[in-house]
Structure 1
Amino acid sequence: MTETLPRAGAGDPVVGRPIDRVDGPAKTTGAAVYSAEVAYPDLAYATLVPATISRGRITSIDTAAATAVRGVITVLTHENAPELKPPQPFNPFNFATFAAGTQVNYLKTDEIFWDGQPVALVVAETLEAAHEAAALVRVAYEERPSAVDFAAEEGNAQPQKANMVLPSGAKKGDAEAAFAASPVKVDLRFTTPPHNHNAIEPHATTAVWDGNRLTVHDSTQSIDWLRTHLALRFDVQPANVRVVSTYVGGGFGGKSVVWAGTILTALAARAIDRPVRMMLTREAVYHTVGARGAATQRVALGAGEDGRLTSLIHTTVARTSRVGGLPETLTSPSRHLYATPTMLLQQHLVEMDLIPPSPMRTPSEGIGSFALESAIDELAYQVGMDPIRFRMLNEPATNPVDGKAFSRRWLPEAYALGAEQFGWSERTPEPGSMRDGRWLVGMGVATAFHPAQQMAANVTVRLSVDGSVVVRCAFQEIGVGAATVQAQIAADALGVPFENVRVEYGDSDLPSSAAAIGSVQTATVANSLLEGCEKLKKRLRSLARRHGTTGQSHGETLARAGLPSLEVAIGSDTRVGKVTGQVKFFTRFLREQRRWMKAAYGAHFCEVRIDQDTGEVRVARWTGVFDFGRVINTKTATSQLRGGIIAGIGMALGEETLVDPRNGRIMNPSLAEYHLPVQADIPQIEVMCLDEPDPTMPLGLTGIGEVGPTGVAAAIANAVHHATGKRIRDLPLTLDKLL
């Protein structure tokens, strides 16, 4: 439902209102131009040729048939590709190094590290010719033994190394001894399969060189990181690289780092000295873009007869790659959600010959919460206590792992409101006790959780004599309404109508911003924007005193001063400014890490219906209540949360990447075989937000993009258990596991 709003005047606050998205008309009418739609004269098209082995080396490449195809311009391989510098390894003190999806120097090596790694690049006058020629490239290999079967390799896992960004574990007391002595306990193993990205817009790049200057139109979540990475790889100054990403048709983590398609499109454009475009097919996304790897988790919980936790043990094994990949911190929810006197958290990694994993939809909390919240539910049954009451009994007063204060935590209130709205009191506690004809009915709950952070962003704010405002910042619009909410923030901060504010974004020529990852972008940009607005108002007040316009409009002050506009800047993109910003960020990060635990929370309530004969699972009702600080735009916020819940439903009931354990090949690289939820799978989803500001965050907001999916799979699994008495610990929850 769309709510019709009165125009917001200068005195009417717009933060918190359901303002329509400013990019809505362009997207719904087709006027929005995406990275694969930018017009350039003399444009050529490129496509990748993937490796067909998981480990080894190339012994020969025959491109004769491919180059003979009409319209083919060139076929690039490791034997003739232009120079390309290798990527830098990840450095937590330089977040731009996060941009390297892998350590492979594409087309500059004959080594093969995963099935699907690009081994050749065809460039042609038409897309059809490029695809036809790519199928004709013949590659011979010398194969080597490879590790591609996660189940077989799990025993080779090693402890995960920690750094200041990604903690690897925690210990409080003797959790194993406390668990052994606990009168009530559960010790459970959970498995989750690999998952792959399926954004509505597959990865796409259009690249053009003008001498030593590169312009790239790319569907990226990290404009600044991509620019820095391209400058390094092509040995040019960052100022000579322009990245444009006005519209991104979904990111979800897969577009936060730089993959082969982007690098090799720019390489091809340099090789032929013409603009080149590459649009990855769905199959190519699976081959060349990292995603979530398989994982196993052990959660062992001990409690007294009264239901109070005595021990929490959470250990995990996830995969990484021999050539890079950022590991996940799957025990993250266990560090923060429940009070317990003893705790043991351990994370392990196993190196495999598969494409490096990358962030994907609440990377750590998405599957970590499935294990923890399922185990909490099981222990509540063992104690004989209502699952909500059990959670509230074990609600911590301070952060369980280190005793830090919560900056804000209204999780009990979220559960209370959700239980009332959902009708939790109508639930009978015994598994299998609720039916509706042939349908078994179950109700389940789970906690949503995602930590909150800020990074660094530079902005400029310009106020003109006609009362219009322009905000400039190179943040990314990945489909969440980012420009709309920043315009709302600026309008309130400067006391101007929302319609007077224009936000420029999505271009590296603008002041640099943080990546759109980890739910950090809105708070990060808002922090700098608010600082800029205060700086602007201070200068306006000074002008007003000087020209006798105190109490009059901003426009009158500028007119009296003879100024067409007034602009202020926060941060700088000079070399010194970058270093200063990095130091400022780390100082704040370390200070707040020592003092506060900041996060977004939520309570999921789910009703499922299961066919008693076929095992078909249908999600019938959903209520989610969220505590993520201040709501900037109720329409975009609830839309994001619903989308996150839908993503969680997909993870719970259908999503699974099938990897051949013999050769590491993905066997279902298409939407025909990789099962995502469709409209018929999704019930009416009721979303409510507590709207309680976090006093330690700008405007009291913490970020909401990634809290929605967390806990969803567990809520469904818990509801399935309530309906059937069967506890499914292996995703996805397919009907064969219920029959």
Structure 2
Amino acid sequence: MSQPQAAVGAAVPRVDARLRVTGRAKYAADNNPDGVVHAVIVDSSVGKGRITGIDTRAALAETGVLTVINHLNAPELPPRQGGFPPGEPLRAFQDDRIRFFGQPVAVVVATTLETAQHAASLVKVSYDAQPPSTDMSVADPAGEPETYARGDTDGALDSAAVRLETTYRTARNHHNAMEPAGVVARWEGDRLTVWEKTQNVVGAVRTLAGEFGIPPGNVRIISPFIGGAFGNAARTWVHSVIAAMAAREVKRPVKLALTRRQLYFGVGYRPAYEYALRLGSNRRGRLTASAHDVRSETSSYETYSEDVLAAGRMLYSTPNVRQVYRHVPLDVNTPTFMRGPGYSSGAFTVESAMDELAHELGLDPIELRLRNEPADDESIRLPFSTRRLRDCYRVGAREFGWERRRPKPRSTRDGDWLIGMGMAAGVYDTARSQSQASVRLDADGTALLQSATSDMGPGTATSMTQLAADALGLPMRRVSFRLGDSRMPPAAGHFGSQTMASVGSSVQDGCDKVRGQAITLAIADEGSPLHGVDPADVVVRGGRLHVKDNPVRGETYQRLLARNDRTHLEALGTYAGASESEKFSFYAYAATFAEVAVDARLGLVRVRRMVGVYDAARIINPRLADSQAIGAMVGGIGQALLEHTVTDHRDGRIVNANFADYLVPTHADIPELKAIYIEGEDFEADPIGVKGLGEVVLVGVAPAIANAVFNATGRRVRELPITPEALL
């Protein structure tokens, strides 16, 4: 039952745009249930050790303070096994151990925020402090490393005509989304309702149910709007447990929001990496071997991993590959997903090294990549579902004007500025997970869809509305999509670029079922103009069912349902997620092109323009896609040139935990940016033919800029961010 496509592919505005820009969209901390009080966390001022005393008398003496909870008086929580990441999750006030600087050691609850803030400053905590280990460069790895191997890497490197051996380093990055982490918790008996900033509604239910030892059915999570997250709201952090604990203790709803400073040690970050890479090739540039040795920071109590090795396994044809991924536990809070997790960090190394190899061989960087295009995924020995990376190179080179690039560094100037061009490839896994969506078509010809998914920025409600409108044959204005409530059908977490494929496929399934019900009702109804018609010949357009080749013969949903005394039709759309036995390798691809100008005397780097070309299969909404792609280019500028966390290793303090000292790109840093999408579909990946877009658009941005800096200056910088000091 193919349907006309009117909404999908159109650059329509966000359906919730007016709510957001007029302030009517309610984010987590905007909720104020009756009787709500305020909580403020007291943070540890040492990086490791034990609490020897807590003096709360001055805080409790303040008018309006209801309680101060700490490990001495906190209720005992039931035992809980760790999930992801593996290890021992940080529990709320269950012992006197300090694991990292900024760890919550107490929470003050008061009738006003100002009172809670003041009282928190009065809490005096004494410690038996120990020197923390926070410097990855001098710390030792722990546990068994992750490994991968194919072929004889050592032998191939020894015999390679050309060898490259380099080490790259990336800094820790923090998310710094517009909306800080916020939560409002309310108990009604043994039932907990939480308004929370979360990308994982279903996961938040599981976590909080486990923390308090109550059935998951007793927990309700509400999160219809998210003001950006970039991955830091993909798991439920300890502050949410603290808010719920405080609410149960004072028997009133409790609101808790982290400050900007607290976000730097409260909700994770992109971990720092040290990535040593050896490449071998023949004189024509065909790769023969690669050896990858990776070190990544994690916390002492959990082991966070991400897929930093994927690009080195499958992006280029390489018969001999060996990879080792070691975790370095430190006295820090646990890292977490940050846009393009793993892939972005790995791409900086792989794509910078490919540029170095191209320069060594005297080859154009695109030509080197083309000579090493694989026929299939050599890491899992499966064919690619689709791979249009060659098209990305071709279109990007044409649109960017790559032919004007001079391969010799420092050969292009504009006054005091050295001009350079660089490019890099990007790749990201096409994830898909089990999801559901309910679909209800009412007798007035309107439809309501619901799913417990989230939207941190890509426009989930809009793209799902477009998909549903076409599947039901309705105008978009007649379709509503609601999300962000755990009472709705469960859905995949809103991370890993899987929402469109996963939730969208369940939306398509549910709408197909409802449309099918309507068609079945019509062809069986003797009073319908469609009575007796082959159901395969019926389509729906503008809310009207009609014969595909005879639009005159048909009727509206309203007339059909009214005549049959039906108030509505409904169905539950389901999607099973990725198959356990995949027959293809599923990835999205990118090629990013950048032009930079570097001040020859000062070392200042300015990005002049960028073009990104993406193989992300079917694009549901080009306007939303542009928002993702351009936003990722901006984020990549930050990753390449500005963003890094500075830690005082004496006590584990993050010294630039604020917007003044942790630099992010502003309007003045943003050049001309252009995004292009290679036309195509991938119905092997999922029923709606999409691939994820939100992550892959970042992967490759930083190395494209770094490669452009080399072309401009002749200085190869192997550490992010690229600062003026590195170029002087």
TM-score category of the 2 structures, normalised to the smaller one: over 0.9
User: 1-side partners of 2:79 and 2:493: how far apart?
Assistant: 22
1:156 pairs, out of 126, 138, 141, with: 141
Matched, 1:379 2:368: no
User: 1-side partners of 2:64 and 2:269: how far apart?
Assistant: 34
Greater displacement, 673-682 / 317-326: 317-326
Task: Give the aligned partner of residue 671 of structure 1.
Answer: 659
1:721 pairs, out of 699, 702, 710, with: 710
Matched, 1:272 2:264: no
User: 1-side partners of 2:93 and 2:299: how far apart?
Assistant: 19
Is the contact made by 1:170 and 1:401 (CA closer than 8 Å) also made in structure 2?
A: no
Q: Structure 1: which 5+ runs fail to align? A: 1-9, 91-96, 161-167, 572-580
Give the root-mean-square deviation of aligned CA atoms: 1.6
Task: Give the aligned partner of residue 408 of structure 1.
Answer: 386
Letter in 1 for 2:563: R
1:123 pairs, out of 87, 99, 109, with: 109
Task: Give the aligned partner of residue 421 of structure 2.
Answer: 443
Matched, 1:736 2:714: no
Greater displacement, 536-545 / 682-691: 536-545
Matched, 1:633 2:621: yes
Letter in 2 for 1:559: A
- Once the two structures are TM-superposed, the CA of residue 529 in structure 1 deviates from its matched residue by 1.2
- Once the two structures are TM-superposed, the CA of residue 12 in structure 1 deviates from its matched residue by 5.5
Alpha carbons of structure 1 residues 25 and 271: separation in structure 2 relative to 1, 3 Å: same
Matched, 1:76 2:76: no
Q: What is the TM-score when the length of structure 2 is the normalising length?
A: 0.94
Per-residue CA deviation, residues 291-335 of structure 1 (Å, 9 max, x unaligned), is 122210011111111111111222200022221142122112112
SS in 2 for 1:135: helix
User: 2-side partners of 1:55 and 1:541: how far apart?
Assistant: 66
Is the contact made by 1:87 and 1:105 (CA closer than 8 Å) also made in structure 2?
A: no
Alpha carbons of structure 1 residues 470 and 101: separation in structure 2 relative to 1, 3 Å: farther
User: 2-side partners of 1:87 and 1:288: how far apart?
Assistant: 20
Per-residue CA deviation, residues 10-69 of structure 1 (Å, 9 max, x unaligned), is 955110110110010011111111111112222211111111222221111111111122
Q: What is the TM-score when the length of structure 1 is the normalising length?
A: 0.93
- Once the two structures are TM-superposed, the CA of residue 279 in structure 1 deviates from its matched residue by 1.2
Per-residue CA deviation, residues 618-647 of structure 1 (Å, 9 max, x unaligned), is 000101111101000000011101111111
Greater displacement, 689-698 / 482-491: 689-698
User: 2-side partners of 1:630 and 1:458: how far apart?
Assistant: 21
Q: Percent identity?
A: 39
Letter in 2 for 1:293: P
2:561 pairs, out of 553, 558, 563, with: 558
- What does 1:337-416 correspond to in 2, within 5 Å? 337-416=315-394
Task: Give the aligned partner of residue 707 of structure 1.
Answer: 696
Greater displacement, 191-200 / 624-633: 191-200
Letter in 2 for 1:665: R
- Once the two structures are TM-superposed, the CA of residue 232 in structure 1 deviates from its matched residue by 1.4
Is the contact made by 1:85 and 1:105 (CA closer than 8 Å) also made in structure 2?
A: no
Greater displacement, 543-552 / 132-141: 543-552
- Once the two structures are TM-superposed, the CA of residue 523 in structure 1 deviates from its matched residue by 0.7
Is the contact made by 2:47 and 2:132 (CA closer than 8 Å) also made in structure 1?
A: yes
1:487 pairs, out of 450, 454, 465, with: 465
Alpha carbons of structure 1 residues 16 and 101: separation in structure 2 relative to 1, 3 Å: farther
Per-residue CA deviation, residues 83-127 of structure 1 (Å, 9 max, x unaligned), is 32344212xxxxxx66x9961211111111111110000111111
User: 1-side partners of 2:451 and 2:87: how far apart?
Assistant: 25
Per-residue CA deviation, residues 696-732 of structure 1 (Å, 9 max, x unaligned), is 1232101111111111110011000000100000111
Matched, 1:108 2:98: no
Task: Give the aligned partner of residue 5 of structure 1.
Answer: none
Matched, 1:256 2:241: no
User: 1-side partners of 2:102 and 2:79: how far apart?
Assistant: 19
Residue correspondences, number: 700
User: 2-side partners of 1:86 and 1:142: how far apart?
Assistant: 26
Matched, 1:620 2:613: no
Matched, 1:590 2:580: yes
User: 2-side partners of 1:205 and 1:238: how far apart?
Assistant: 18
- Once the two structures are TM-superposed, the CA of residue 71 in structure 1 deviates from its matched residue by 2.0
Greater displacement, 396-405 / 374-383: 396-405
SS in 1 for 2:654: coil
User: 2-side partners of 1:51 and 1:545: how far apart?
Assistant: 70
Letter in 1 for 2:24: A
- What does 1:559-578 correspond to in 2, within 5 Å? 559-571=562-574
Is the contact made by 1:169 and 1:331 (CA closer than 8 Å) also made in structure 2?
A: no
Matched, 1:222 2:200: yes
User: 2-side partners of 1:309 and 1:69: how far apart?
Assistant: 69
User: 2-side partners of 1:173 and 1:158: how far apart?
Assistant: 25
- Once the two structures are TM-superposed, the CA of residue 187 in structure 1 deviates from its matched residue by 0.6
SS in 2 for 1:313: strand
Matched, 1:302 2:280: yes
Greater displacement, 621-630 / 207-216: 207-216
SS in 1 for 2:480: strand
Task: Give the aligned partner of residue 647 of structure 1.
Answer: 635
Alpha carbons of structure 1 residues 169 and 694: separation in structure 2 relative to 1, 3 Å: farther
Comparing both structures, which one devotes a greater share of its residues to strand?
2
Task: Give the aligned partner of residue 404 of structure 2.
Answer: 426
Task: Give the aligned partner of residue 48 of structure 1.
Answer: 41
- Once the two structures are TM-superposed, the CA of residue 441 in structure 1 deviates from its matched residue by 0.2
Is the contact made by 1:628 and 1:703 (CA closer than 8 Å) also made in structure 2?
A: yes
Matched, 1:186 2:164: yes
Per-residue CA deviation, residues 442-464 of structure 1 (Å, 9 max, x unaligned), is 00000111110100111111111
Matched, 1:610 2:598: yes
Alpha carbons of structure 1 residues 516 and 200: separation in structure 2 relative to 1, 3 Å: same
SS in 1 for 2:647: coil
- Once the two structures are TM-superposed, the CA of residue 439 in structure 1 deviates from its matched residue by 0.5
User: 2-side partners of 1:258 and 1:11: how far apart?
Assistant: 41
SS in 2 for 1:405: coil
- Once the two structures are TM-superposed, the CA of residue 189 in structure 1 deviates from its matched residue by 0.1
Is the contact made by 1:11 and 1:496 (CA closer than 8 Å) also made in structure 2?
A: no
User: 1-side partners of 2:712 and 2:112: how far apart?
Assistant: 55
Per-residue CA deviation, residues 517-544 of structure 1 (Å, 9 max, x unaligned), is 1000111001111111222223223212
